[in-house]
Amino acid sequence: MRTPFAGFFGANGIHLPKAGAWHFKDAYRTVLQKASSEKLPELASRELPSIITHWLHDINSSPLLLDEATGIRWRNTLQEAAGRKDLSISFSGYPFYSAKSSFRFIDLFAGIGGFRIALQAYGGKCVFSSEWDMKAKETYLQNYAEIPFGDIKLFTDPNVSDDFIENNIPDHDVLAAGFPCQPFSLAGVSARNSLGKKHGFYCKVQGTLFFDIARIASIKRPKVIFMENVKNLISHENGKTFETIRDVIKNNLGYSFFWKEVDSCTLVPQRRKRIYMICIRDSKIAYFFPSFGGKARPLSSILESNPESKYTLSRKMWRGHQKRTRRNLQRGTGFTANLADISKPANTIVARYYKDGKECLIPTKSGLPRMLTIREAAKLQGYDGRFKPHPSRSSAYKQFGNSVSVPVVKKIACKLSMILGQIS
């Protein structure tokens, strides 16, 4: 039986546990085989891999989008296959699986889980994740033993009732969302203008996704809404976009609103300015962002001493970069490609880095610059050596370019975790 994620669960047959725990992969394949023979609602059938992986984190719960009876059938299937009633699931091999549960959070527009790593570090338990990019979902699975649900609009479409959201998105203390930034970023706005496309809240595909966050928050009423976006969000449409967000949070939802622009360069060797927003349900509780002062980290601090030759640009590509750079400088527009000063932080790494690496080209002794290695790109966003990048090089670069800076989110989350218990 093939599913979109079959390769990530291995091609071998099911290995029944003789003693101890089911391994996550074997439990998944066993439940999938059972569930695929059942008649399920259309949405549940489409999202079945996500439903099963979420359920395996808490097999005593009811599967999302389904009912308690389905959970009982799935548990019985595992019990019968193993020949015993006591069940446990092993998540060995998944570096960022966590069973901690000091507070509960959901991970929207999850990407590769930067928010998840940060919140789990302070006792958070993720109870729901959503991400529409298939390659990002594959990376997420490899690290957290969970396949995010697809487009959040499956849950927030205007035709979906409030009761559906109430019943199918678990209760949570923190709603975390690094909602898509392309409609608000300088590059995104420039590209959309040149193509005659609308941007910001007029971008019907991504720009309105803030309102999906707001709808979930209005129904589930988490203690905190924790959001991230690009610096340009503040100035977009002469500040009207940001004011709309603040107005919805404060006047429609009744949450307080705190925000700060943070440059990541004192925590990771990359200049990455982003807007972070903390919105609190209890107006009596204030949030004060931690300081991000200090000395900027040099790019040299994360560079490998002997990178593989495949990361070095060809002579033809490097000449093309130089030619386009001269032309664009003369006409005063367009991107340029220059060698990075490794004694300083790197420029902001973006999703398109995989194409030619021009945002950060490392000088070499050969005279031909090289791109960052995949592991260097991971370190540039604060992912440690345990993290499993996507096996596709282009997908891995895209995903790190779209990610939050994990140490920045961790520092904000640390302070946030200290006040969660005080919020009524």
CA distance 314 to 311: 9
Q: Is 181 a catalytic residue?
A: yes
Instruction: Give the bridge partners for 361, in sequence order.
Output: 339
Query: Three-state SS for 105?
Result: strand
| Burial profile 125-161: b = 16 or more Cβ within 10 angstroms, e = fewer | bbbbbbbbbebbbbbbbbbbbbbbbbebebbbeeeee
DSSP string, 208-252: THHHHHHHHHHHH--SEEEEEEEGGGTTGGGGHHHHHHHHIIIII
* Cα distance between residue 96 and residue 105, in whole Å: 15
Q: Which of 364, 355, 377 lies closest to 312, judged by CA?
A: 364
Instruction: Give the Cα separation of 333 and 273 in Å (integer).
Output: 22
Q: Which of 181, 203, 265, 360 is catalytic?
A: 181
Give the active site residues: 181
